[in-house]
């Protein structure tokens, strides 16, 4: 388990942004606390007949701009403070890309790696039975996060509809296409990341040739495939997952690597690259580094050794504040999570819009609308960066916090 407290980090980032925009104390205090928190226990029947009492959470951090929005994570190391941090970051993420949504997050403390399909289904349904009163298309709309996926969303939606006795497909996003999901949603986080890299490479004049992917789950795999496809250049020179790390200076065959991962559950044993020490994957020389796993992967212990020009944060909170300072001093450009990983929630919003009208868009239309949103958000962040002379994360926070604060004020909350 990480020794960092991500919620302390998240609050620190709000305080820094608040100083620059001279936010009054009442608004700052409002934005430093979650609006609502739900903690519940869930009895879950296991395959051996026993019942485990699991802990679940849902946190609605701020809903001034719209209903809370954010994923549900199934993870053994989940803590309330991690969920608070993730819900807080979702608030700025939806604001930076200008969606009419607030921020939320949820989680269950469990280890999906040792659970069967049926046990996962039982947990998913139990979560919704506990949370049904405080989620809803006009209140709070969950989605997947780490170790949750469209199948889990399908079980959750089904349980919700069973409770409310009517179709309510917009209650969750990133569902399978057959039951109200959106084209392009599975790729959306990674696609949005690549679009932001495209903008950053133009702005900083850096060709996006060699890239590294840290973490090889859904986002890591999709970004490895999309980087070369969208940017029409790019070699995957290093990759890591929880089992090992691989290096090939001439670039790996990404399709084969993804096939190997899907077949074996690991990147270890892939023939098209040499195995290296897991930590050294981040130190390989490259143009772009995509951290795509968990929080705090880039910290004061490895920030000095990173050899990439741009870091595109597909994970939530992968860089600690200490590392941020080091990277900034070393001239490494960080595309912050609340911008670079916003593609997922952007297409989740498109999914909600499609569900509410029962009219579904073609994939090209989804991708185009996503590109427009990311480009516009990138511009707002660059404008804040240039006018305040700050690093990109602070610039993104300034945009997000200012928009949420404005909504709180217009509503008369502060
Ligand atoms: N879990 C994703 C995120 O952190 C997606 C959230 C959503 O689509 O609501 O951005």
Query: Rounded mean pLDDT of 146-170?
Result: 97
Hey, which of 61, 70, 102, 400 would you mutate to test ligand 1's pocket, going by the most ligand atoms within 8 Å of its Cβ?
70
Strand (E) or helix (H) holding 338: helix 337-340
How much distance in Å is there from the Cα of 267 to the middle of ligand 1?
25
Is the CB of 63 inside a 6 Å radius of any atom of ligand 1?
Answer: no
How much distance in Å is there from the Cα of 402 to the middle of ligand 1?
21
How much distance in Å is there from the Cα of 411 to the middle of ligand 1?
26
Residue pLDDT, tens place only, 325-367? 999 999 999 999 999 999 999 999 999 999 999 999 999 999 9
Is the CB of 173 inside a 6 Å radius of any atom of ligand 1?
Answer: yes
Q: pLDDT averaged over the chain?
A: 96
Question: How high is the pLDDT of residue 161?
Answer: 98
CATH architecture of 34-168: 3-Layer(aba) Sandwich (3.40)
Whether residue 148 contacts residue 71, with contact meaning beta carbons closer than 8 Å, is answered with yes
Residue pLDDT, tens place only, 310-335? 999 999 999 999 999 999 999 999 99
Strand-strand pairing, 286-291 and 210-214 = parallel
| Sequence-distant (≥ 6) Cβ neighbours of residue 399 within 8 angstroms | 95, 96, 377, 380, 381, 384
Whether residue 182 contacts residue 169, with contact meaning beta carbons closer than 8 Å, is answered with no
Q: Which residue has the tokens 């399709």?
A: 255
Residue pLDDT, tens place only, 238-257? 999 988 999 999 999 999 99
Is the CB of 352 inside a 6 Å radius of any atom of ligand 1?
Answer: no
Hey, which of 144, 150, 354 would you mutate to test ligand 1's pocket, going by the most ligand atoms within 8 Å of its Cβ?
144
| Sequence-distant (≥ 6) Cβ neighbours of residue 258 within 8 angstroms | 221, 224, 225
Do 34-168 and 188-335 agree at the fold level?
Answer: yes
Is the CB of 124 inside a 6 Å radius of any atom of ligand 1?
Answer: no
Domain boundaries, the chain: 34-168, 188-335
Question: How high is the pLDDT of residue 1?
Answer: 40
| Sequence-distant (≥ 6) Cβ neighbours of residue 73 within 8 angstroms | 83, 86, 105, 106, 107, 108, 145, 146, 147, 148
Q: How confident is the model at residue 295 (pLDDT cuts 50, 70, 90)?
A: confident
Ligand 1 atom, smallest distance to 144 CA: 1
Q: How confident is the model at residue 4 (pLDDT cuts 50, 70, 90)?
A: confident
On whether the 188-335 domain is CATH 3.40.50.720, my answer is yes
Report which DSSP code applies to 172: S
Quick check: 2 pLDDT over 70? no
Share of the chain above pLDDT 90, in %: 95
Residue pLDDT, tens place only, 96-152? 999 999 999 999 999 999 999 999 999 999 999 999 999 999 999 999 999 999 999
How much distance in Å is there from the Cα of 345 to the middle of ligand 1?
5
Q: How confident is the model at residue 232 (pLDDT cuts 50, 70, 90)?
A: confident
| Sequence-distant (≥ 6) Cβ neighbours of residue 241 within 8 angstroms | 215, 216, 217, 220, 261, 266, 267, 268, 293
Query: Rounded mean pLDDT of 41-56?
Result: 97
Whether residue 145 contacts residue 58, with contact meaning beta carbons closer than 8 Å, is answered with no
Q: Which residues are catalytic?
A: 105
Side-chain half-sphere CA neighbours of 30 within 13 A: 20
């Amino acid at each position: 388990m990480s020794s960092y407290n991500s919620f302390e980090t998240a609050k620190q980032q709000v305080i820094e942004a608040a100083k620059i925009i001279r936010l009054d104390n009442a608004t700052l205090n409002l934005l430093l606390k979650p609006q609502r928190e739900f903690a519940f226990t869930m009895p879950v029947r296991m395959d051996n007949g026993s019942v485990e009492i699991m802990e679940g959470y849902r946190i609605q951090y701020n809903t001034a701009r719209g209903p809370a929005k954010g994923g549900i994570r199934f993870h053994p190391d989940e803590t309330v403070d991690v969920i608070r941090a993730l819900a807080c970051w979702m608030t700025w993420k939806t604001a930076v890309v200008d969606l009419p949504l607030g921020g939320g997050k949820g989680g269950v403390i469990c280890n999906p790696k040792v659970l069967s399909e049926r046990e996962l289904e039982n947990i998913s349904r139990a979560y919704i039975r506990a949370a049904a009163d405080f989620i809803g298309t006009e209140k709070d709309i969950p989605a997947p996060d780490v170790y949750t996926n469209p199948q889990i969303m399908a079980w959750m939606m089904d349980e919700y509809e069973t409770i409310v006795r009517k179709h309510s497909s917009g209650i969750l996003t990133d569902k399978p296409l057959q039951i109200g999901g959106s084209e392009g949603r599975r790729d959306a986080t990674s696609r949005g990341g690549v679009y932001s890299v495209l903008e950053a490479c133009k702005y900083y004049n850096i060709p996006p040739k060699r890239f590294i992917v840290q973490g090889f789950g859904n986002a890591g795999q999709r970004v490895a495939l999309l980087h070369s496809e969208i940017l029409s250049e790019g070699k995957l020179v290093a990759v890591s997952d929880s089992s090992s790390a691989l290096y090939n200076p001439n670039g790996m065959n990404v399709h084969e690597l993804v096939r190997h991962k899907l077949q074996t559950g690991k990147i270890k044993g892939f023939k098209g690259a040499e195995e290296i020490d897991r930590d050294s994957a981040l130190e390989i020389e490259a143009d772009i580094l995509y951290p795509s796993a968990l929080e705090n992967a880039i910290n004061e212990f490895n920030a000095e050794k990173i050899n990439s020009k741009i870091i595109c944060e597909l994970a939530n909170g992968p860089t600690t504040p200490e590392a941020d300072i080091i990277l900034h001093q070393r001239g490494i450009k960080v595309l912050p999570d609340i911008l670079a990983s916003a593609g997922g929630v952007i297409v989740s919003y498109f999914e909600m819009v499609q569900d509410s009208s029962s009219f579904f868009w073609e994939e090209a239309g989804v991708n185009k609308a996503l590109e427009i949103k990311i480009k516009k958000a990138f511009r707002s962040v660059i404008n804040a960066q240039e006018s305040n002379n700050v690093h990109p994360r602070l610039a993104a926070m300034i945009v997000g916090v200012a928009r949420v604060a404005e909504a709180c004020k217009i509503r008369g909350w502060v």
